[in-house]
Amino acid sequence: MDDWGATGIVEEFTFNNYAEYSEKQKSCMSNDQMILAKKMVHNFTNMNEDFFRVVGVPNGGYFVSEELKHKIEQRHFTGMSFEHVDQ
């Protein structure tokens, strides 16, 4: 965990799925604490969602599936760009 210049890092965590993260996030929030990520690794192999957002981490942002990306491009939507994310 990276403190982004903050002080008082208590411990490091590893989450294997969103449920684990969500449970710890709720626990931290109830104690006026927060989770700051040093590194986040996304595993898209079992994803069913075509669109999701990750916030509060250095490599966060909006993520879309290849299928949704192609549909957006086919309809000639503008005002966005796509960057490839290695798996």
What secondary structure does DSSP assign to 61-73, as a single string?
EEEE-HHHHHHHH
The CA distance from 8 to 17, in Å, is 25
Question: Residue 45 phi/psi, 5° resolution?
Answer: -65, -30
23-46: per-residue pLDDT in tens?
988 988 898 888 877 777 777 777
13-29: per-residue pLDDT in tens?
888 887 888 898 898 88
Q: What are 51's strand-pairing partners?
A: 64
Q: Which of 63, 54, 61, 55 is nearest to 87 (CA)?
A: 63
The CA distance from 28 to 35, in Å, is 7
Global confidence as pTM: 0.56
Q: Which of 69, 71, 73, 72 is nearest to 85 (CA)?
A: 69
- In three-state secondary structure terms, 7 is coil
